[in-house]
């Protein structure tokens, strides 16, 4: 693997999405400032509470993943960069970008609750595990928050990259079928199957699976969630590589 080309691709992608990240965080901080003003000026029964704003980062990274394949793949392939170099440099790029997002969001976790009535996503899920924490446990909470956000962000980015790579490999008929069929199945098919054939067990299984992935089965275990999302990110990365390695340049 050509290291010079590898890091050139990483720098190119970081520069390409820098503006999007800045716009996203500008919106986040604007909303937080509005929330602080609201908290200090309006009666308590009329406060607008913003919790779990890490979801904005997740949506942004999903979108970045969704737009990170086609144009880059065609551009890099035309310039003679191998698919292997493209894939691993993109993976490295997402690792850096997600670490930056996770670090900023962890700093927000350390600051926002002291300024406004804000509860981060981590404490919404795992607060019982950190009840009555002192300075050492508080530091551990921040480190765990960073690690969890980092791997979750990478997982979400890989999901977006997998989806766009899968669409790239499909023909027009398959794209239409998937675009129409998947939402219909998710919105109606699962509910009908669960209601008439499985008698509510399917949603129960899905709920139990989500709790297990997030470490919420039988308590609050954030390190279980970290391990689960590492495995999921690896699975989607492998699937994406299998799709990308045989992709051909399209006009």
Residue 174 has pLDDT above 70, yes or no: yes
Q: Select from 234, 233, 216 the least CA-distant residue to 225.
A: 216
- DSSP letter, residue 79: T
What would the pLDDT profile of 122-148 be if each residue is shown by its tens digit? 888 988 777 666 677 888 889 999 999
Residue carrying structure tokens 């949506």: 59
Show the tokens assigned to 147. Answer: 């690690």
Residues 156 and 236 sit within 8 Å (Cβ to Cβ) = no
Q: Where are the domains of the chain?
A: 2-244
Helix-then-strand count for the chain, H and E: 10, 0
What would the pLDDT profile of 193-236 be if each residue is shown by its tens digit? 777 777 777 778 888 999 999 999 888 899 999 999 999 999 99
Buried b / exposed e over 47-74, threshold 16 CB at 10 Å, is eeebeebbebbbebbbbbbbebbeebbb
């Amino acid at each position: 693997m050509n290291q010079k080309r590898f890091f050139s691709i990483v720098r190119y992608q970081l520069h390409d999405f820098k503006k999007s990240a800045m716009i996203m965080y500008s919106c986040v901080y604007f909303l937080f400032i509005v929330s602080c003003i609201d908290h200090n000026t309006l009666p308590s029964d009329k406060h607008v509470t913003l919790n779990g704003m890490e979801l904005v980062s997740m949506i942004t990274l999903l979108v970045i993943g969704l737009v990170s394949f086609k144009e880059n793949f065609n551009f890099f392939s035309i310039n003679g960069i191998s698919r292997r170099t493209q894939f691993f440099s993109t993976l490295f790029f997402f690792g850096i970008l997600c670490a930056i997002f996770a670090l900023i969001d962890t700093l927000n976790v350390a600051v926002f609750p002291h300024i406004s009535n804000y509860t981060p996503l981590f404490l919404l899920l795992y607060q019982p595990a950190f009840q009555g924490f002192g300075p050492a446990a508080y530091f551990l909470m921040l480190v765990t928050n960073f690690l969890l956000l980092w791997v979750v962000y990478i997982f979400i980015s890989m999901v977006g990259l997998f989806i766009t790579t899968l669409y790239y490999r499909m023909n027009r008929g398959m794209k239409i079928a998937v675009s129409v069929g998947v939402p219909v199945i998710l919105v109606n098919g699962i509910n009908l199957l669960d209601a008439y054939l499985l008698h509510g067990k399917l949603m129960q299984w899905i709920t139990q699976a989500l709790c297990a992935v997030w470490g919420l089965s039988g308590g609050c275990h954030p390190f279980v969630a970290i391990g689960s999302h590492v495995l999921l990110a690896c699975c989607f990365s492998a699937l994406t590589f299998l799709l990308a390695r045989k992709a051909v340049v399209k006009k």
